[in-house]
Amino acid sequence: MAQARRILLKLSGEALGADASGADSFGYRAETLAGFVGQIREVVELGVQVGIVVGGGNLFRGATGALSGMDRATADSMGMLATVMNALALKDALVRAGVPARVQTAVAITHVGEAFERDTALRHLESGSVVIFGGGTGNPFFTTDTAAALRGAEIGADLLLKATKVDGVYTADPKKDATATRYASLSFDEAIRNNLAVLDTAAFALCREQKLPLVVFDIFKPGALKRVVMGEDEGTRVTP
């Protein structure tokens, strides 16, 4: 039986353009989207309610714009719009595969998706729709990791899942250190003590304060999302 009733899945924008080998590209890879949809479907079929926060890194990041001289707040607004495009791409792929899905955005864009409203989001989740939250937190200077922690806390998720290209948190960078080992689990305090960058600081603080457990896992591993939700040894579990 699934160990979680409601989850918040954070998908980076980068992941939408990547493939299993880790190669990134601009925009979307249809086969990557199809793979994510298949994994999301598996957990929806278990009766798990799924909220998703999607990033925008495959299209635009505010920090990159600021590096070339753009005003940071304006660049971040562009980044937030990029996440809305990704939310629409993901919704389209889910709906085409027969998985009911809705988009809610933190930045109101009439006709494109609903504006974020917690009560409505909860109703959609309870009726079995996947709810994709676009537009991050709606504020510049934040990331979609923080948006994921925020929406996760707001919808009362039992678990926050950070989908990455690595299968968890390691004692050192596994690409540079052959002796690096994966943590199966660790506490928020241990993560701080060992200086492990699990989430960005604001997101991490919110999860810790709200006692929202987190799993970092490799979404490119077939069936990984379901195994995490079933409580199996997949990725790294960070617990209060």
Could you say which residues in the range 69-108 bind ligand UDP, by CB under 6 A? 76, 79-80, 82-83
Q: Which stretch binds ligand UDP (CB under 6 A): 8-16, 107-115, 190-198, 227-235?
A: 8-16
Q: Assess contact for 173 and 180: CB atoms under 8 A.
A: yes
The reply to whether 17 sits near ligand UDP by the rule CB under 6 A is no
On the CB side of 171, CA atoms within 13 Å amount to 8
- Which residues on adjacent β-strands are paired with residue 109? none
| Environment class of 51 (CB within 10 Å of its CB; exposed 0-12, middle 13-18, buried 19+) | buried
Applying CB under 6 A, does 57 fall inside the site for ligand UDP? Answer: yes
Instruction: Report if residue 18 touches ligand UDP, rule: CB under 6 A.
Output: no
# of chain residues touching ligand UDP (CB under 6 A): 23
Among 39, 49, 105, 144, binds ligand UDP (CB under 6 A): 144
Out of 8, 9, 14, 125, which residue is the one contacting ligand UDP (CB under 6 A)? 14
> What CA–CA distance (Å, rounded) separates 62 from 13?
13
Beta-carbon count within 10 A of 122 CB: 17
Closest listed residue to residue 171, CA positions, set 193, 201, 200, 145: 193
Q: Which stretch binds ligand UDP (CB under 6 A): 41-49, 131-139, 188-196, 224-232?
A: 131-139
Summarize as ranges the residues that interact with ligand UDP (CB under 6 A): 12-14, 55-57, 61-63, 76, 79-80, 82-83, 136-137, 139-140, 142-144, 146-147
